Structure 1
Amino acid sequence: MKQDYYEILGINKNATAAEIKKAYRKKAIEYHPDKNPGNKEAEEKFKLAAEAYEVLSDEQKRTRYDQYGHAAFEGAGGFGGGGMNMDDIFSQFGDIFGSAFGGGFSGFGGFGGGQRRPKGSNLRIRVKLTLDEIANGVDKKVKVRRKVQAEGVTYKTCATCHGTGQVTRITNTILGRMQTATTCTSCGGSGQMIDKKPSDADSQGMRVVEETVSIKIPAGVVDGMQLKVSGKGNDAPGNGIAGDLIVAIEEVEHDFLKREGDNLHYDLYISISEAVLGTSKEIDTVTGKVRIKLEDGIQSGKILRLRGKGIPSINGYGSGDLLVHVNVWTPKNLTKEQRDFFERMQHDENFVPKPEKSDKSFFEKVKDMFS
């Protein structure tokens, strides 16, 4: 079981953005590879801290994590199993702790002057899912147009930063001489410049290709949730890291099932005669057809709960329920014979409403439904 992100950073769930950043910087400095050379345990804690910070520092990701836990990012590359690598960390968060190590950082395996590996831009797509697909999970194949490095591109060392990816400047202040390091604008931090490229490549040596990407979508996702397929965004020039493919989930409205969290609602209409005499009905669910029995004398507004026939919890806590709302359909057009019958029955003792204590009011039913 994965460790809680708040526990990793040593903060509570009400921590502010500033407190999250401060906690991460403290952990990053404590477990930084420069301070713990060859220590695999420290390296793993360093990665976990960065993984936790990536989620908790982003308001949308933090909201999803608070609601769904680690499952919010599983199924499409996610963060699971040490999803972040050292290059990701230094590329995205190096400025937070880099100053503690001489004002610079670089890719894993060579700090203090080595070049930084830039990361390509992310791509975003929207995937529409039916309720059946959400309930059972699905593998989707989508076509994505992404930038990849063209064949035949060669590079040379950047003359501005001499391959470091950074430009160092020294300024005089009232506190003395201060040294700052900024990303090289000539090469974008890659430390390399294009030497030769084919005619079909752009100025960065990239070309656009259409690629089919397989996305494994877990059961229980919700509308608006975002999944990540690592490395399926645009490539970065040179020896950079490919960006990610961000997949936004869009739920297609079902014809007769209405979703409420993990529960589903279904309106079942029956005739007056079926309500009086009782009947059995076959209804469709997201797990297949089921047959339910309606006892004689059933009242309109009765709610039948079919446990486990709803949507699976994305956190793995079982499945929701299917709530069947019974509605007695009153006919509008009657024959003379039918009208005569009901006129005779108006004052019949069996047709006079006599609600029992077990027959809950509408408001009681709503209260039970949300409790």
Structure 2
Amino acid sequence: MKRDYYEVLGVSRDATEQEIKKAYRGLARKLHPDANPENTEKAAEQFKELSEAYHVLSDRERRARFDRYGHEAPGGFDFDLNRDIRGGGFADLFDMFFGTSSRQGSGRSAVQRGSDLRYDIEISMEEAYTGVEKTIEYRRLMFCVDCGGTGAAPGTKAESCSTCGGVGQVQRVQSTFFGQMSTVSTCPHCQGAGKVIKSPCLHCSGDGRARRKTRVSVKLPAGVDTGSRIRLSDQGDEGPESGPAGDLYVVIHVLAHEFFRREESDVYCEVPLSFCQVALGDSIEVPTLNGGATVTVPGGTQTGTVFEIREAGFPHLRGRGRGDQYVTIQVVTPTKLNAKQKDLLKQFGEECKEQWTGARSFFEKMKDAFVGSAHRE
């Protein structure tokens, strides 16, 4: 009695196509007769069972019929191991064992896409806050004007590869458990191009592309931060032989600011105030990245107190709204006093002695701690 195909592959009935393919590849490596020379008959039977399960479950229509009817599906599943192998139905398997495809090549290698490029740009914190448009200049591989993109020196042309006959691939025959298998691989002489350049262009060294300066404008949206990337489609290197161009990735670096500090979408800053301002209270103008804001500092404010300015931070790149700005108060102690100022402060200190109970009690506790420690010694 035939085993359930899902059981053969060791996957669940809701397995994805990728999971089925992964399971098949793993088991095929282990069960293939060439990998089991000590018991090829048993391995061949197991491999045939595995291949039949993959033949059914890797095809959506066949899988749907199996899910509905099981092995008794009307018309069966038309499985023939040798035919599927020779027809290219198991090309992935031959890639695993031989490193080449069992499919007959259709000619030269596929059109190649150009490489992606990276450009690092520095902007100020103000530019990151408002957004900015920049024009950048960089070098990219582009169509060589000297040789017209052929890679051959002017007055010459590329010749058909004598190894592969211009098709870009070579065929070889291998002996396997299933008999003689014909495989194709990229031509080692022309690297799949199908042609050979005997007199390469001096400007592009036979590549058909040369690096040229390019200028392009890029819009950086408000709220970008260090590490943000902007992708410019088709602005990377052009592909060889008129292949599609890669992309350009602009990577942003926001310069440090002398006054503001950023954390995600929030902005932080410190504002110095005099003793009189925090003692009596004051209304101060605090700079922000979009101008300024008025903050009311109540009398008796201590150093380290933080005030919040709502929505004065950076706009969120994803979603609505902005971050906030947090202002930390730093009380500045005067260092240069004239005689009159010193006298006034002394008078003020005498007047305030009775009010500074907190400071006095703190020093008394410190004194008691030191005295107690000395007695214990």
Map residues 317-336 of structure 1 onto 2, 5 A cutoff.
317-336=320-339
Mapped contact 2:105–2:184 kept (Cα < 8 A): no
Alpha carbons of structure 1 residues 225 and 234: separation in structure 2 relative to 1, 3 Å? same
Cα deviations by residue, 1:92-118 (Å, 9 ceiling, x for unpaired): xxxxx9738997699xxxx97264111
| 1:209 aligns to 2:212 (yes or no) | yes
Structure 2 gaps, min length 5: 1-14, 23-58, 61-89, 151-156, 360-377
SS at match of 1:346: helix
| 1:242 aligns to 2:245 (yes or no) | yes
Partners of 2:263 and 2:322 in 1: CA distance: 12
Normalised to the residue count of structure 2, the TM-score between the two structures is 0.58
Mapped contact 2:135–2:216 kept (Cα < 8 A): yes
Mapped contact 1:116–1:190 kept (Cα < 8 A): no
Map residues 1-371 of structure 1 onto 2, 5 A cutoff.
22=18, 99=92, 113=106, 115-151=109-145, 152-154=148-150, 159=161, 160=163, 165-174=168-177, 176-177=179-180, 181-189=184-192, 200-346=203-349, 348=352, 351-352=355-356
134-143 or 149-158, larger mean C-alpha shift: 149-158
Mapped contact 1:168–1:181 kept (Cα < 8 A): yes
Q: Percent identity?
A: 31
SS at match of 1:238: helix
Q: Which residue of 2 aligns with 1:3?
A: none
SS at match of 1:134: helix
Mapped contact 1:119–1:236 kept (Cα < 8 A): yes
More helix by share: 2
Mapped contact 2:118–2:251 kept (Cα < 8 A): yes
What count of residue pairs does the alignment treat as equivalent?
267
1:199 offset after TM fit, Å?
5.7
SS at match of 1:214: strand
SS at match of 1:99: helix
SS at match of 2:277: helix
1:330 offset after TM fit, Å?
1.1
Q: Which has the larger radius of gyration?
A: 2
Partners of 2:232 and 2:188 in 1: CA distance: 29
Normalised to the residue count of structure 1, the TM-score between the two structures is 0.59
1:313 offset after TM fit, Å?
2.0
Mapped contact 2:102–2:182 kept (Cα < 8 A): no
1:259 offset after TM fit, Å?
1.1
Q: Which amino acid aligns with 1:242?
A: A
Partners of 1:23 and 1:288 in 2: CA distance: 56
Mapped contact 2:174–2:180 kept (Cα < 8 A): yes
Partners of 1:172 and 1:119 in 2: CA distance: 36
1:299 offset after TM fit, Å?
1.8
Partners of 1:191 and 1:24 in 2: CA distance: 36
1:241 offset after TM fit, Å?
1.9
Partners of 2:142 and 2:114 in 1: CA distance: 10
Alpha carbons of structure 1 residues 283 and 197: separation in structure 2 relative to 1, 3 Å? farther
Partners of 2:195 and 2:127 in 1: CA distance: 46
1:193 offset after TM fit, Å?
5.6
1:164 offset after TM fit, Å?
5.5
